[in-house]
Each structure stands twice: as structure tokens, then as C-alpha cells.
Structure 1
Amino acid sequence: MGIFDEPKIAIPGIFLIYFVVVGALAAAGNIGAASAVAVFGSVLIYVTVALIMRSATTEAFYVAGRDVGAIPIGSSIASNWMSGASFVSMAGAIAILGYDGLPYIIGWTLGYVIAAVLIGPFVRRSGTYTVPEFIETRAGGWPVARLIAVLMLFIVSFTYLVAQLVATGVIIGRFLGISAIIGAMLGSLFVILFAGTGGWRSVVWVQVTQYWVLIVAYWIGFLLAAAKAGIFKPWPHIGYGALLSQLETREVAFGLKPFTEPFKVGFAGGTGLVNWILGALALMLGTVGLPHVLSQFYLVKDVRTARYGVGWGLTFIALLYLTAPVYAILARYAFSNVWGMPIDQAQTVGWIEKWMPTGLIHIVDKNANGLLDPAELAFHKDIVVIGMPDMWGLAWWVAVVVAVGGLAAALSTANGLLMVMTVGATRDIYKRFINPNVSEEREVWIGRGMLLLLALISAGAGARAIQDPTFSKYVALLVGWAFVFAASSFTPAVILGIFWKGLNRTGMIAGMFIGMAVALPYVLGLGLLGWQPVVIAGAKIGTIAWGVVGFLVNLVVSVVVSLATGGEKANTPEIIEFVDRMKIPE
């Protein structure tokens, strides 16, 4: 047995080699090479972990062998859940939107709790392998239900994956000084290497590694920036009030509304209190129906492990989510330091000079007064966390560490999303409808081929998202759209499928189809085509808030159609037994 056949020895050994090589380059004064090796060396670590943990069996490829423990699955859930949107974009969204950006934190945090505590254990107890298989089984083995579920899965997961590749492009573009578009293409290549090696078994252990990389990186950048800002009084989460007060004074001096004033900017294309509340609620509801989140519960050996894993996952997620608002204030304050500067001088400020070649920062003297007004500094919202070390003049290695963490966050979720779509295409379509007798080895290789195809398509869409100004939204918004689609399709089907025996296959599919038909055109029309938002109770309803409308339409249609077509009486004894089995304690 070689050393790399033993994970407990091999994985720490690889990290040791990584730190030695990066440290040697830095000690030799070759900072550029050290930075590049640090960022791309982390990718090699993930590839190596994937190779070490690989397996050729279909059970390992599809559900990681169902032998993942509580702490590892908690780390994997946290890594898979937080994504590039949480690491790269959430603090940026709050930095720009202020109070109006809080639905991201509220919706995603509470949504995870609901999905993990009230839904996850039942999904695990169902005995199915995938979400489309769950839908088909709940529909009494009706093939149409599985096909519709796979279609919905692709809409939700593809939207989410494009957002992760945008985040990857932002990070790689900064450290190579290249276009973020090329960075997104490279990101898709990395994901192919992780996921194609051994399916879910490789992915889940890569995600465990990536969680600890991303959380350490996030906190290192945060603590050092907080120390330089002087908000350890006694702890940054408590002592940032003085910095916020100074920031608001500057904003008022430049004619801006205070950072903390509610409903001044709007949320996801909408405005007002109703839109704010519905936005948070839509993100909560969407969480319950996200296929790549629900799929994590299939990877553990029993319900007890799932419950403990949920607790660990929530703890690990909180370490980042409770810190994002302070990150946002630190970034906003750093922006304010260049307001009022002569344009020529502002362009030579270190962090602006570093980021301008990426195309993610633009300075335009709109009023030709030679001074930089707040509205004349245009930047992609996703540079807030990755650019924090540069903004606060921290050591070069801090920026590298944060970039490595951001890359880990984006790639970890991209891994899960790509695997969910791959399994949907292979197990839920190819094996179910085309070749039920396919050999185990051939099925795994077909899965790898499908993974490659999906990654390339997603890379093209990610590049387009960065390039097109009508679609180049910050990552958190693109991710939010995926939650809208999930809330409008899967969430009512999963909730009713578990807790209401009266849901039958006709009602379930009608609800999913009509719910998505309500959500998809509105999001695309308002988000990309310039439609005017619907007004409810005097508030303009944005793209994310519309998810509640899609959810309610799905819910009502599912219930009404089920009752009109026989309700529980239309279900076979096998369906009733399936519902009962999910609720039997283990």
C-alpha cells in the first residue's frame, strides 16, 4: 500500500508540501510566483483529494457510498450551501444595498434551518437516490413526474452554477491579471477535474477540505482588516459601531442617504417593505427545494447522522454568515476613503490600480469636475471580499489567502451542482428511460462524459454572464434567481409530498409546471428584458420576491387539482406506504 492510498497520511502531507513550496518562493522574494502557486496549488490539492477518495462503484458515484460521518457531512453541507454567493458576493451585496441587502442573510440562514431540520431527515428516510427519483416515487412510479422533475432540476441548478462560475472568474481574473471571462472558463475546467474523478464520493471529501480552507481564509482577511480599522473593542462584531457612525457622516456629506436607512435602494429590482419581506421569504422557501442541498442528505448512513450533520452544518455556516455584515461595513468605509479625491490620484490608489485591469472597476468623471464622486466609482459588487486585503493595505499574502478561500467556496458549490445535473442526466434519464440494463462501469463513464458536456455549456453561459451588461449582475442576485425557481417548482412538491397524503401525481405535476411557468418569464423579463415590475400593496415586486408568488401558485394548484382528481383516494397503497415510511422514527 502506497502513502497516497491512506487518506489520513496523504492529505496532511499534501498540505505540508503546499505550504513549503509557497513559503520557499515567498522567502526567495518571488511574490508573483508564490501567489500564483498558492491559488492554483490549492486546486491541485483538491484534485489530489478527489483522486485519493475516488471509487468506481455507482453507489459511490451517486451517493458517496452512504457512509459519510456527521462532522464531515456538516462540513460538506456548509461548503456546498454557502457557495461563491456567500463568500464572494453576500458582503458585497450588503455593502452596496445596506439594509436592503439583509434579506440575503435572513432568507438563506432561516431557509437552511427549515430545510435541514424539517425536510432533510425525511428525504434521507425515503430511500431514494435523487430528488427526481423522490418525485417519481411519490407520484407512484409515474415516469412523466421524473422527466418534469429533471427539467426543473436543470433550470434551478444551471442558474446556480452560472453564478458560481462568475465568482470563479472574478477571483482568477484578479490574480492572473486576465479577463474574468477566461477565469470563468478555467473554473469550469477545475470542476471537471474534481467531480469527474469519483462522483459524489470525491466531491463530498473535496467539499470538506474546501470548507476549512474557505472559513479560515474568510476569517484571516476579516480579523486583520478589523484590526487595522481599530474595531477590536472588544470584538469586531461588537465594536464596529464607531466605524459605521463615521461612514454615515461621510455619506451625508456627499449627499448620499445613510447606509442603514431602510428601503432606499431596493432589493432585486423591487422596492418597499412588502418586496423586502417577500424577498427574504422567497429565499427561505427556495432553500427547501434546492436539489443540490437535498442531495446532501442522501450521502449519510442513517437519519441520526443526518441530524447531527445538520447541527454541525449550521454551526459552520454561522461562522461566515454572522461576519458578512461587518465585512460589508469595512468595505464601504474603504470605498469612502477615495471619495472626493482627484481622478488622477484615485486611479493610482493601490487597490483600484490592481483591480482595474480585470474590468471589474471603472472610474468615469461624469460631471467633469476632476474629482471622484461616489457615483463615479463603478465596480462589480463581488470584489468586496476578495479585494478587502487590497483596500486596507494588508500584506500580499492576505489577499492570496482570501482568494484561495473564495475559489474554494465557488468551486465547492459548483461541484455539487454539476454532480446533481450529471446524476439527473445519467441515472434519472439515461438509466431510467434509455438503457435500464447498463453496466455499472459504463454508467459511471457515461456520467463522466455528461459531466464534461454540462461543464462546458455552463462555462460558456458564465462567460456570457460576465460579458453582457444586462446579465452581469452580482453573484448573489443570480443565485437568488435559482432560489426563485426552486421555490416555484420543488418546494411545494417536497413539503406536500412528505406531510400530506392527499397530494396525488396529477396535482403535484400540475403545481410544479404552472409554478415554474409563473416564475421563469417574470424573472427573465424583469431581470433581463426591461419589463416593469408588478406592484403589490404599493411596493414594486422584484425578481427574488416573485418567488413567493410562484410558490403560492404551485401550492394552490397542487392542492386544488389533487382534490379535484380524487386526493388521497387516487394514490396507490404503495404511495401511502412510502409517505408513512418517511415518518417512522429510526
Structure 2
Amino acid sequence: MDTQTWIYLAVGGSFVLYFVIAILSRAGSTDDFYVAGGGVGPVANGMATAADWMSAASFISMAGLIAFLGYNASPYLMGWTGGFVLLALLLAPYLRKFGSFTVPAFIGARYDSNVARSVAILCLIVASITYVIGQMKGVGVAFGRFLEVEFETGVLIGMAVVFVYSVLGGMKGITYTQIAQYVVLIFAFTVPAIFISIQLTGVALPQIGLGARLADGSGLYLLDKLNATITDLGFDRFTDPEHSTLNIALLTLSLMLGTAGLPHVIIRFFTVRRVADARKSVGWALVFIAILYTTAPAVGAMARLNLMQTVQSAPVGAANANLDYAARPDWFRTWENTGLLAFEDKNGDGRIQYYNDKNPAFADEAAGYGWAGNELTTVDRDIMVLANPEIANLPAWVIALVAAGGVAAALSTAAGLLLAISSAISHDLLKSMVMPQISEKGELLAGRLAMIGAILVAGYLGINPPGFAAEVVALAFGLAASSIFPALLLGIFYKRMNREGVISGMLAGLGTTIAYIFLFKGVFFIPGTNLFPDTATYWWFGLQPEAFGAIGAAINFAVAFGVCAVTRPPSAELQRLVESIRSPGQLKTD
């Protein structure tokens, strides 16, 4: 069979599997729709959490970031995994014990304030919508390439698939679908990595292959070869830091706090039976996540080396140094059709020059070779993982497996985010504040309608994305870190914190973080509407917008403590409630 047939079978087969699971696990009550009936085991929930967590940003975009940023992408690895440790130690078991299965419900009950609940809903929707943009971008990239349709059409197909199993099954359907999606995506990520590691280094484990010598007899280590290849073309060394240590540290912290504060992950810990199972679920999720995250650096490095050696096929300056455009491989032609890879023959020699023309020193050298600028004008970072098996000439079934995995990763997280948005609107806003007398059937209908609306918004923003997937997702983490995480942490560990303090803190943290993002990314992250160029030269104290969430969190804490100090403490009953959260025994509040 040819590659495209394999792709149709793999992607189509996975869709059939997801639809069957959704039909068999159709939600018949709000308990099923919101928390899967609360009967999921810790191992299964850990696997579902891992799939919910490992989004298009993890599967598609993170290795692409590593491929182009090298060392500077390390905060994404450390922050996204380290945040799960914070979640396990500081939040998950206590929130599960409290019993309010959404973030706004916890904040509303803990601070005895519908205003606090409303602000939490606002924070949740802002962070979740920003996050889901990256997932829909990933859906469009995967479908656009592997179903050979336009990017926009790919997003629409993804919307339809998510609609079926999310609206029909709710959390119950999403949970069991995500377990299947985890199996698909982890095989899809690791199998090609093993193939390519063997191909380049002779070592089967990619984690070890990253630090191994090349199998071509040169005696060079893989990373040394990569450094030499890209620096010969004017790019920075793969293993050298670009930004300040402060920026790297705060970006890592922002991603960690954002991970611990993301509502679509927190809600997963209400699908288990007991408080102890919530902690076990986090542990299992970390195990399942580590399989992909320890493989990603190798995938990124190997993808970059394969790309560079494909385009730069001979030593710099040689007559045949660059790839002949007319003889470009099939994978290059295929990705050109998506618009995510583009070439412009600026000097009319029929060959592809790919180098850093913004490096003045190398630009002068390149001019001596007759090169007239970087001719690979578009290389979308989000294509690197999906294109890597094709660049490496792997078997067709492996390419198809990657297609199914990329789609699974994007759809699994999109579904979780959409459910978090839906429950915030139907349960926290409608049921808890606007229409408390609504029936369970009416609330279930409202939840499904809210999810349909969220899917439409997510699809529109996915078709008009402000950046590549991991970049947009990092902004979402900053928003969650600056608004939700401090409110949860203070609600559990500081009984003196009152409603005035937490409301002021959330608004201050969210507001300052959005303002900083708008300055450098533009209004609603639309390029061209920003007041300052998004470069290190203009960033305040050298902090990129993705790293500002940690500063926003610090502002949140400072404002919350300041306002709390000059206002009345919460009632004695509320303070006893906070103490009981951390004490053995059962507690149920909503």
C-alpha cells in the first residue's frame, strides 16, 4: 500500500475507535458529563490525564521548538513536567477532598463569594480559550498534511470529530477516549524516534542516541555534528543559551505554576473514587508523560539535523552545496502544498539556500557564494515532528502512525479544555448563580450547548492563530499561573485569606499579564497590533511574554496579601473549613 492509503487507514481507524467509545460511554447525567461518574481507577485516570495534558504543543510543537531553539527550549521540558510535581504535592489531593469539581466552584465555596466565583470563571475562560487555540492549530497542521486538505479544512474536520465524542460523551466519553488516544500518541511519537535513532547512531533508545556518536564512521557525536552544521550556516549553536538566566528561570516557573493551575487538568482528579487515588493519578500521569518528554529532545535534535543535511547536501561554498529545487524530495513537495513550507528562488540558480541571513558576519560570506538571502522563506516549526519520518525515509506505516498520533494529541487536549469551559458556564455560572433551580436535564443540555459554542469559538481562533502551537500554549500557562494558581494555593494553605484579597489578587495578576502580552504580542495576540516589537531588545528586564506569568503570579500574591491585611478576615467557620481540607477525613462541598 502507498503512504496515503496507510494514513487514511490509521487516522480513519482511530476516528472509528473514538466514536465507538463515545457511543458506548454516553453521558446520561451531569455526574457522568462533568466527572465520568467518579469511578475511574488511578492508572486509567493517569493515562487519560497524560493524554489530556500532552497536547498538540507536546506532540507536535515541543520537539519543533527544540529543533530550532535547542537549549533555549529546555524550560518547556522542565516547566511542563515540574508543574505536575506541584500539582501532586500542593493541590490535587486537597481539591479532591474538598469535593468541588471545578476551579470556580472551589473558589466560590472557599471564599464564600459569587464575585470570586465569577472572577475565577473569567480567568478560566481566558486561559482555556488561549490554550485551545494551540490545539486547533495543531489539528489543522496534522489534517492539512495527512488528509491532503487546506489548513482551514483540517480545523473544520477536527471540530466535527471533537463535537461528536465530547458533546455526546462528556467527561465519561472523553476519559475513555483519551486512554485510547494516549496509546496511539505514545506509539506514534516513540516508534519513529527509535527508527531514526538507530538510523543516525545505531542506538535504539533515542534518549541515549542523543548523546551517542554518529553511525556514519565520522566519530562525531550527534550534538557536535548538529552544532557544526548549523553554525556553518550562521545559526547559533544548538547547545548554547540565547536568553538570560533570569528569563529561562522565570519561563520555567511560569510554566510550572500554569501547569498546576490549569482547570482542565485539575478537573480530572474528581473522576477517581478516593482522595488517595487523586495523588496516585498524578504519579501515574508523570510516568506516562515522561516517556514522551524524555524522547522529545532527541526527536528535535535529529529532526533539525535531518532537515539541514537534506537542504545543505554538501560543504558550504561548494557548487552543489544546496538542494536542487527541481529534484526536491516528495516530502518537501507535499508540505509545500500545505503552505507551511515555502521556497523563493531569490538568485535564480534553481537551488535552495537555507542560512541565517540576519547574521551580518555570515550574510557577507553568503553573498560571496552568490546567495541572495534565505530562500527557505517558511519553515513552520509545527511541521518538524510530523515531517521527520518522511525526511528520514521511514516506512509508510510509520508515517501513518505519526499522523494518527498528531491528531490524537491535539484532539485529546482540545476535548478536555472544551469540557472545562462548558462546565464553567453551565455549572458554575448557570446552575450556581443565574438559574439555581434548573433541573439536571436542563443543566446537561446547557453544558452541551456551551460546549458547542466553545467548539465554534475554538475553531475560528484555530483558523486564525496568533502563532505556532507551543508559543500560544505558553501564553495560556502564563495566564493560568498569574490568576488561578495563587487563588488555589492560598485557599488551601492560608486560612486568613479572604474574598477581597483573592478577588483583587486574581484581577491584578491576570490584568498585568494580559497587558504585558498585549504590549509585545498585540491585542488578542494578533501580530501587528503590538506596541513594541516582540524581541529581547524591547522586553522589560529581558523577560519574554511567555515568562511573565511568574511575575503576574508574584503580583497576585502581593496584592492578595496586601488587601487581606487591611480587610476583615473570613468567618471562623470558613477558617475551620480550610483547616479541615488538610486534615484526615472526608469533606464534601460544592
User: Is the TM value for this pair above 0.5?
Assistant: yes
Q: Which amino acid aligns with 1:527?
A: K
Matches within 5 A, 1:220-231: 220-231=191-202
2:67 equivalent to 1:68: no
Q: Which amino acid aligns with 2:224?
A: S
2:365 equivalent to 1:363: no
Residues 252, 536 of structure 1: CA spacing in aligned structure 2 closer, same or farther, 3 A cutoff? closer
- Give the drift of 1:442: 2.0
Q: Which amino acid aligns with 1:258?
A: R
- Give the drift of 1:297: 1.2
2:216 equivalent to 1:246: no
- Give the drift of 1:72: 0.6
Cα offsets for 1:22-64 (capped at 9, x unmatched)? xxxxxxx465344213212212211111111223111111111
- Give the drift of 1:203: 0.9
Selected match of 1:157 from 124, 128, 134: 128
The separation in 2 between residues aligned to 1:578 and 1:203, in whole angstroms, is 32
- Give the drift of 1:309: 1.3
Q: Which amino acid aligns with 1:372?
A: Q
Q: Which amino acid aligns with 2:457?
A: I
In structure 2, the residue matched to 1:513 is: 507
- Give the drift of 1:453: 1.4
The separation in 2 between residues aligned to 1:423 and 1:560, in whole angstroms, is 32
- Give the drift of 1:535: 7.7
Cα offsets for 1:509-545 (capped at 9, x unmatched)? 0000111110112112212333336989984211111
**Contact 1:231/1:243 (<8 A) preserved:** no
2:519 equivalent to 1:525: yes
Residues 347, 499 of structure 1: CA spacing in aligned structure 2 closer, same or farther, 3 A cutoff? farther
In structure 2, the residue matched to 1:78 is: 50
- Give the drift of 1:344: 4.0
In structure 2, the residue matched to 1:556 is: 558
Structure 1 SS opposite 2:272:
coil
The separation in 2 between residues aligned to 1:376 and 1:326, in whole angstroms, is 27
The separation in 1 between residues aligned to 2:62 and 2:285, in whole angstroms, is 18
Number of corresponding residues: 540
Structure 1 SS opposite 2:342:
strand
In structure 2, the residue matched to 1:584 is: 583
Structure 1 SS opposite 2:28:
coil
In structure 2, the residue matched to 1:19 is: none
Residues 351, 122 of structure 1: CA spacing in aligned structure 2 closer, same or farther, 3 A cutoff? same
Which consecutive residues of structure 2, in runs of 5 or more, have no partner in the other structure?
212-220, 313-320, 356-373, 523-528, 586-590
2:467 equivalent to 1:486: no
The separation in 2 between residues aligned to 1:32 and 1:87, in whole angstroms, is 21
In structure 2, the residue matched to 1:429 is: 429
The separation in 1 between residues aligned to 2:326 and 2:433, in whole angstroms, is 61
**Contact 2:84/2:282 (<8 A) preserved:** no
Selected match of 2:306 from 317, 334, 346: 334
The separation in 1 between residues aligned to 2:531 and 2:72, in whole angstroms, is 21
**Contact 2:3/2:400 (<8 A) preserved:** no
Residues 389, 562 of structure 1: CA spacing in aligned structure 2 closer, same or farther, 3 A cutoff? same
2:457 equivalent to 1:457: yes
Structure 2 SS opposite 1:376:
coil
**Contact 2:66/2:297 (<8 A) preserved:** yes
Matches within 5 A, 1:375-386: 375-377=374-376, 378-386=378-386
Cα offsets for 1:446-504 (capped at 9, x unmatched)? 21111111101110111011xxxxx2x22111000000100111111011111001110
Cα offsets for 1:123-177 (capped at 9, x unmatched)? 101111211000101111x111111111111000001111100001100000122
**Contact 1:95/1:331 (<8 A) preserved:** yes
Q: Which amino acid aligns with 2:478?
A: V
Structure 2 SS opposite 1:407:
helix
**Contact 1:364/1:376 (<8 A) preserved:** yes
In structure 2, the residue matched to 1:16 is: none
Cα offsets for 1:101-129 (capped at 9, x unmatched)? 11100111111111122211111011112
- TM-score between the two structures when normalised by the length of structure 2: 0.88
**Contact 1:346/1:372 (<8 A) preserved:** no
In structure 1, the residue matched to 2:416 is: 416
Structure 2 SS opposite 1:393:
coil
Selected match of 2:4 from 32, 37, 42: 32
Q: Which amino acid aligns with 1:248?
A: N
Cα offsets for 1:407-459 (capped at 9, x unmatched)? 11111111100000000110111112232122212221221111111101110
The separation in 2 between residues aligned to 1:167 and 1:273, in whole angstroms, is 30
Structure 1 SS opposite 2:310:
coil
Cα offsets for 1:57-96 (capped at 9, x unmatched)? 1111111111110111100111111111101110000101
Which consecutive residues of structure 1, in runs of 5 or more, have no partner in the other structure?
1-28, 264-270, 466-470
Structure 2 SS opposite 1:55:
coil
Residues 202, 165 of structure 1: CA spacing in aligned structure 2 closer, same or farther, 3 A cutoff? same
% identity of equivalent residues: 36
**Contact 2:61/2:469 (<8 A) preserved:** yes
Structure 2 SS opposite 1:544:
helix
Q: Which amino acid aligns with 1:321?
A: Y
In structure 2, the residue matched to 1:257 is: 236
The separation in 1 between residues aligned to 2:138 and 2:2, in whole angstroms, is 27
The separation in 1 between residues aligned to 2:537 and 2:196, in whole angstroms, is 42
The separation in 2 between residues aligned to 1:368 and 1:545, in whole angstroms, is 42
Selected match of 2:188 from 191, 207, 217: 217
Q: Which amino acid aligns with 2:261?
A: G
Residues 72, 257 of structure 1: CA spacing in aligned structure 2 closer, same or farther, 3 A cutoff? same
